[in-house]
């Protein structure tokens, strides 16, 4: 703790002069970076539209209310598609994530030098690219539709599920594994009786958690053409049919709340 | 367990107790899942001919990763990337600054009930609306460009950061806050000396994590016209310029990995 001599006697300070200078320059740099960013944003903004924004917002609001409830009839099928994209996508993702997780966990991987980095690369690469970008890519490859949506959700979810799962595998109680090994269990028996029962609750929790996220993500996949309720949203936006847009937004909000509730209930029951 | 029960069990093979105890419920759940899966898979239309045609393009895309083209669209990539980074920095700063007072308001142990309700309401709205949907609405209101993206990301940051920070404040050590209060501190002193030191490491960790998320999200906001690299990426896919798309994706993955590494270091240092 530095003590600084003042005319009134020694005074205690939290930091030395050098430390506080470094901090001061840190804050200065941060502020400068933020201001520079703000200048760039404001340069590429048409401020006329921004000053006009309250009027446009209220205009959109009056056009969008009340929602066109009769449009609901043509939404049931897209809702069903959206749920399928999320559920089937999550299932496919889990099937692919389990082996990746076992290859990535440092206590189960066959090789820490060669296999583990590869598994970690798969995890990072699938996680860092948004499902909308995966959807764009898959639509270019396999054409628009629900199938592309399922694949996009599945690929995107691998990294998330595998990451949480391999962390769970690394945190298991080693003594149980040793007990199974001591009975003469083979590699697969150790896996089935020593490791799997320990990570099963975590696995179920991860599955439900990701399903909840996937419901949210699958509602907007249609914006790029990958099926589900987003297609209707895109079509309504393109024709400026605001009453339909507001109805779809309400449906999406409702779906998100329901899925969050279901996910919380199921996780409460499992864990 | 009595002797009688043990005698009964002798000689019979041990069986794992089922997850759901009631037999009829187990069957109903299993059957329901099966019926759903059959219906869901049957309702997904896959045009296998189209998929087969697409395999060539898929392979071309994989090959593109071996020869990513950073040069021919270098100026587009550079300006898009810069815009994404600018949006990330500005929205993270603004989002974090706004979310701190909201987090204080949303912590039940320091906020009065009316304030608590309002702040929780803001958090709920921000979390329920997806980034991309908010971006669509804000683009409609504020016009195309990074301002809409900046506002979207700031708004999303508030929901994420305030919720987690409020939970951290709620679970803090009460005795430290009470000790400061017992010295007769004012409200602002109470917050600064009793509560802030306890939550600041967590705030830094969460902020780093949110910067990471904001960058990833900024990569897709361009799809709906809210600025950033997404627009460039979308054009690259539309023109089937896979080598440019591969280059952009590689840059995104690289930046995300760097950010994750950086945030790991920062979080290890502050905790």
Residue by residue, DSSP assigns A140-173 as: HHH-SSHHHHHHHHHHHHHHHHHHHHHHHHHTS-
What residues of A are in contact with residue B46 (Cβ under 8 Å)? 145, 147
pLDDT digits (tens, 9 = 90+) for B98-156: 999 999 999 888 888 999 999 999 998 898 888 898 998 898 888 888 899 999 999 99
**Within an 8 Å CB–CB cutoff, is residue A38 touching chain B?**
yes
pLDDT at residue B19, as a whole number: 66
pLDDT at residue B2, as a whole number: 65
pLDDT at B206 over 70: yes
pLDDT digits (tens, 9 = 90+) for B160-183: 999 999 999 988 888 888 888 888
Question: What CA–CA distance (Å, rounded) separates A207 from A65?
Answer: 37
Task: Answer yes or no: do B256 and A223 touch at CB < 8 A.
Answer: no
A247 Cβ partners below 8 Å, 6+ apart? A67, A68, A69, A71, A72, A75
For the domain made up of A69-270, the CATH class stated in words is mainly alpha
Question: What CA–CA distance (Å, rounded) separates B240 from B176?
Answer: 60
Count CB pairs under 8 A between chains A and B. 137
- Among A23, A26, A40, the strongest candidate for a mutation testing the B interface, having the largest count of B CBs within 10 A, is A40
**Neighbouring C-beta atoms of residue A81, cutoff 10 Å:** 25
Question: What CA–CA distance (Å, rounded) separates A181 from A220?
Answer: 48
pLDDT at residue B111, as a whole number: 86
Residue B241 CB burial class (10 angstroms; 0-12, 13-18, ≥19): middle
Task: Answer yes or no: do A60 and B141 touch at CB < 8 A.
Answer: yes
Question: What CA–CA distance (Å, rounded) separates B158 from A127?
Answer: 22
- Among B42, B59, B89, the strongest candidate for a mutation testing the A interface, having the largest count of A CBs within 10 A, is B89
Task: Answer yes or no: do B40 and A88 touch at CB < 8 A.
Answer: yes
A184 Cβ partners below 8 Å, 6+ apart? none
- Positions of E strands within chain A: 3-6, 9-12
- DSSP-derived pairing of the beta strands A3-6 and A9-12: antiparallel
pLDDT digits (tens, 9 = 90+) for B228-261: 888 888 888 888 888 888 898 889 888 888 888 8
For residue B93, the number of C-alpha atoms closer than 13 Å in the C-beta half-sphere is 15
From the list A116, A63, A51, the residue with the least C-alpha distance to A239 is A63
pLDDT at residue A194, as a whole number: 86
Whole-prediction pTM value?
Answer: 0.83
What residues of A are in contact with residue B256 (Cβ under 8 Å)? 124, 127-128
Q: Does the CA dihedral B244-B247-B249-B251 come out positive or negative?
A: negative
pLDDT at B17 over 80: no
Query: Lowest-confidence range among A149-153, A155-159, B46-50, B212-216?
Result: B46-50
For residue A199, the number of C-alpha atoms closer than 13 Å in the C-beta half-sphere is 27
pLDDT at residue A214, as a whole number: 92
Asked if B250 and B68 count as a contact pair (C-beta separation under 8 A), the reply is yes
pLDDT one digit per residue (tens) for chain A, 271 residues: 577 777 777 777 777 788 888 989 999 999 999 999 999 888 888 788 788 888 888 888 888 888 888 888 888 889 999 999 999 999 999 999 999 999 998 888 888 888 899 998 889 888 888 888 889 888 888 888 889 999 999 999 999 999 999 999 988 888 888 888 898 888 888 888 888 888 888 898 899 989 999 998 999 898 888 888 888 888 888 888 888 889 998 898 888 889 889 888 888 887 6
**Within an 8 Å CB–CB cutoff, is residue A183 touching chain B?**
no
A163 Cβ partners below 8 Å, 6+ apart? A101, A123, A127
**Within an 8 Å CB–CB cutoff, is residue A140 touching chain B?**
yes
Question: Among partner residues B47, B142, B223, which is closest to A132 by beta-carbon distance?
Answer: B223
Question: What CA–CA distance (Å, rounded) separates A45 from B144?
Answer: 8
**Neighbouring C-beta atoms of residue A40, cutoff 10 Å:** 18
Token pair, residue B67, equals 């020869």
From the list A229, A196, A228, A211, the residue with the least C-alpha distance to A92 is A211
B21 — phi, psi (to 5°)?
-65, -45
| Nearest chain B residue to A36, by CA | B86
For residue B107, the 8-state DSSP code is: -
pLDDT at residue A113, as a whole number: 86
Q: For this complex, say whether ipTM is above 0.90.
A: no
The ranges assigned to domains in chain A are: 3-45, 69-270
Q: Give, rounded to a whole angstrom, the gap between the first and last alpha carbons of chain B.
A: 48
């Amino acid at each position: 703790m530095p003590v600084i001599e003042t005319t009134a006697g020694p005074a205690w300070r939290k930091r030395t002069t050098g430390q506080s200078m470094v901090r001061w320059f840190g804050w200065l740099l941060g502020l400068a970076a933020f201001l520079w960013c703000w200048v760039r944003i404001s340069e590429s903004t048409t401020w006329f539209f921004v000053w006009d924004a309250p009027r446009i917002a209220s205009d959109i609001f009056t056009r969008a209310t009340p929602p066109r409830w009769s449009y609901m009839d043509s939404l049931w099928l897209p809702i069903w598609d959206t749920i399928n994209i999320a559920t089937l996508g999550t299932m496919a993702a889990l099937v692919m994530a389990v082996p990746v997780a076992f290859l990535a966990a440092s206590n189960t991987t066959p090789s820490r030098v060669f296999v583990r980095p590869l598994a970690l690369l798969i995890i990072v690469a699938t996680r860092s690219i948004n499902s909308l970008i995966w959807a764009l890519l898959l639509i270019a490859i396999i054409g628009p539709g629900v199938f592309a949506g399922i694949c996009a959700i599945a690929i995107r979810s691998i990294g998330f599920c595998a990451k949480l799962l391999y962390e769970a595998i690394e945190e298991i109680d080693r003594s149980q594994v040793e007990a199974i090994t001591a009975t003469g269990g083979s590699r697969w028996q150790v896996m089935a009786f020593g490791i799997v029962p320990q990570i099963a609750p975590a696995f179920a929790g991860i599955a439900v958690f990701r399903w909840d996220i996937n419901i949210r993500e699958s509602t907007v996949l249609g914006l790029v053409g990958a099926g589900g309720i987003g297609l209707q949203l895109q079509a309504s936006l393109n024709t400026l049919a605001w009453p339909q847009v507001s109805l779809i937004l309400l449906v999406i909000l409702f779906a998100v709340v329901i899925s969050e509730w279901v996910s919380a209930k199921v996780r409460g029951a499992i864990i | 367990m009595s002797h009688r029960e043990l005698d009964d069990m002798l000689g019979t093979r041990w069986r794992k107790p089922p997850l759901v105890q009631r037999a009829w419920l187990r069957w109903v759940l299993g059957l329901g899942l099966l019926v759903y899966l059959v219906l869901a898979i049957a309702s997904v239309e896959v045009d296998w001919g189209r998929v087969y045609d697409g395999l060539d393009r898929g392979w071309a895309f994989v090959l593109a990763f071996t020869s990513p083209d950073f040069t021919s669209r270098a100026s587009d990539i550079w300006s898009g990337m810069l815009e994404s980074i600018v949006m990330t920095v500005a929205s993270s700063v603004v989002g974090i600054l706004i979310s701190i007072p909201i987090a204080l308001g949303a912590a039940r142990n320091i906020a009065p009930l009316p304030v608590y309700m309002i702040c929780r309401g803001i958090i709920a709205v921000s979390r329920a609306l997806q980034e991309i949907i908010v971006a669509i609405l804000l683009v409609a209101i504020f016009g195309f460009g990074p301002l809409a993206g900046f506002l979207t990301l700031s708004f999303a940051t508030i929901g994420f950061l305030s919720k987690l920070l409020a939970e951290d404040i709620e679970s803090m050590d009460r005795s430290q806050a009470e000790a400061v209060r017992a010295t007769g501190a004012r409200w602002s002193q109470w917050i600064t000396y009793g509560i802030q030191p306890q939550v600041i490491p967590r705030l830094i960790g969460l902020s780093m994590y949110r910067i990471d998320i904001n960058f990833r999200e900024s990569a897709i906001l361009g799809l709906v016209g809210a600025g950033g690299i997404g627009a460039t990426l979308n054009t690259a896919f539309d023109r089937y310029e896979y080598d440019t798309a591969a280059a952009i994706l590689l840059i995104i993955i690289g930046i995300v990995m760097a950010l994750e590494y950086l945030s790991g270091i920062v979080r290890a240092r502050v905790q």
